[in-house]
């Protein structure tokens, strides 16, 4: 009996057929079928029912399946332990980012640069990267679909998620210089209630900053009227420059003097803050590759934000 035979048998059960199993294993369908038949001959049992459209385990196959899974898991555990002892990382790390984070400096650190450094040090680790809303990424972390994520926080992180806040800055209302809000502002600030009924330009639902805005408006007794949505704060500012509404963005999204026709007004009563955080499962279930990348990101973010930030 060989491990390859057990792996082929398990994969056929999981995929429900020899052709799909072969595609997943990058082995021809006849090769998978031959290995499984050899396993059946060695055990003297028929493990798979091939009569239906979907291949399913027989009663004997069900009994063998749990042991096959356990054997493969044990071998993988031995391999991971050996790799850790030798300082060699393998495996896969799945990372999620809020839109725009991949091309920007977040918390004083270049996320893409950190990933590049990690890849240089551990080329055998496969890294997958995807952008999504914070709401969906936090759910993916809890379900084990992501190992790490850079998210926007609209409040306290959900149960089971640990975070390191890397950006914490006020939200501002960006408008054209001829907007009535500018004349009504006091010391460069406006009350949140001044946004009631105004056409707003904001991040999509499910993002942390949108959650901050919606919750604050609800507490103030009104629903925000968001007429335009975009995933990148810079796009929101450009829309405001064309007079399409009031862009509610983090203060850092509007660089001083970048657009002469615009002014950023602090939102007061209450003041709103947008936070970006590195998030990961609190139960420590991540593999060695994910833990190593997490440690690197936490160190780089801590160095980038500086003491007291």
In the predicted model, is pLDDT for residue 309 greater than 60? no
For residue 76, the model assigns a pLDDT of: 77
Q: How far apart are CA 31 and CA 177, in angstroms?
A: 71
Q: What are phi and psi of 132, to 5 degrees?
A: -165, 180
Each residue's pLDDT tens digit, 202-233: 988 888 788 889 989 999 999 999 999 987 78
Each residue's pLDDT tens digit, 169-190: 888 999 999 999 999 999 889 9
Using alpha carbons, list the distances in angstroms from residue 124 to 12, 83, 89, 118, 290: 27, 11, 7, 10, 13
Q: Find the mean pLDDT for residues 233-261.
A: 80
Is 125 in contact with 289 (CB distance < 8 Å)? yes
Using alpha carbons, list the distances in angstroms from residue 38 to 7, 18, 262: 13, 14, 74
Domains of the chain, by residue range, sit at: 3-86, 91-166+275-305, 168-273
Establish whether domains 3-86 and 168-273 are of one fold.
Answer: no
Is 100 in contact with 233 (CB distance < 8 Å)? yes
Architecture label for domain 3-86: Orthogonal Bundle (1.10)
DSSP conformation class of 286: -
pLDDT-derived band at 279 (thresholds 50, 70, 90) equals very high
Q: Within the chain, what is the greatest distance between any pair of CA atoms? A: 87
For residue 259, the model assigns a pLDDT of: 60
For residue 306, the model assigns a pLDDT of: 36
pLDDT-derived band at 305 (thresholds 50, 70, 90) equals very low
Sign of CA dihedral 287, 275, 110, 201: positive
Q: How far apart are CA 200 and CA 239, in angstroms?
A: 10
Using alpha carbons, list the distances in angstroms from residue 93 to 166, 287, 288: 21, 8, 10
- The residue with tokens 């970006």 is 276
Fold of 168-273: D-Maltodextrin-Binding Protein; domain 2 (3.40.190)
DSSP one-letter string for 166-188: EEEEEEEEEEETTSHHHHH-BTT
Using alpha carbons, list the distances in angstroms from residue 44 to 110, 238, 280: 58, 71, 47
pLDDT-derived band at 103 (thresholds 50, 70, 90) equals low
Q: Under CATH, domain 91-166+275-305 is a member of which superfamily? A: Periplasmic binding protein-like II (3.40.190.10)
Using alpha carbons, list the distances in angstroms from residue 212 to 23, 151, 230, 234, 276: 46, 13, 16, 19, 12
In the predicted model, is pLDDT for residue 84 greater than 80? no
Q: Find the mean pLDDT for residues 136-160.
A: 88
For residue 175, the model assigns a pLDDT of: 93
Q: How do 48-49 and 105-106 pair as beta strands?
A: unpaired
In the predicted model, is pLDDT for residue 166 greater than 50? yes
Across the chain, mean pLDDT equals 84
Most confident by average pLDDT, 100-114, 237-251, 294-308: 237-251
């Amino acid at each position: 009996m060989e491990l390859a035979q057990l792996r082929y048998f398990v994969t056929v059960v999981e995929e429900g057929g020899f052709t799909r199993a072969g595609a997943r294993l990058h082995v021809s369908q006849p090769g998978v079928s031959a290995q499984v038949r050899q396993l059946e001959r060695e055990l003297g049992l028929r493990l798979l029912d091939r009569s239906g459209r979907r291949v399913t385990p027989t009663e004997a196959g069900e009994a063998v399946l749990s042991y096959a899974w356990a054997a493969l898991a044990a071998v993988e555990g031995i391999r991971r332990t050996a790799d850790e002892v030798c300082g060699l990382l393998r495996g896969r790390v799945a990372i999620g980012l809020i839109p725009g984070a991949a091309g920007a400096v977040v918390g004083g650190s270049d996320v893409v640069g950190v990933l590049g450094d990690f890849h240089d040090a551990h080329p055998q680790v496969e890294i997958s990267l995807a952008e999504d809303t914070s709401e969906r990424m936090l759910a993916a972390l809890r379900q084990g679909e992501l190992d790490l994520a850079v998210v926007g926080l609209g409040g306290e992180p959900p149960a089971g998620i640990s975070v390191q806040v890397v950006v914490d800055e006020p939200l501002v209302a960006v408008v054209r210089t001829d907007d009535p809000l500018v004349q009504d502002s006091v010391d460069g600030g406006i009350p949140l209630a001044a946004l009631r009924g105004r056409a707003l330009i904001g991040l999509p639902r499910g993002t942390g900053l949108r959650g901050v805005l919606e919750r604050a408006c609800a507490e103030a007794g009104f629903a925000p009227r968001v007429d335009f949505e975009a995933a990148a704060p810079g796009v929101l500012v450009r829309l405001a420059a064309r007079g399409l509404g009031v862009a509610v963005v983090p203060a850092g999204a509007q660089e001083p003097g970048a657009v002469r026709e615009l002014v950023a007004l602090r939102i007061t009563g209450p003041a709103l803050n947008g936070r970006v955080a590195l998030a990961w499962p609190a139960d420590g279930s991540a593999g060695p590759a994910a833990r190593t990348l997490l440690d690197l990101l936490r160190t780089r973010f801590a160095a980038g934000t500086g003491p007291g930030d």
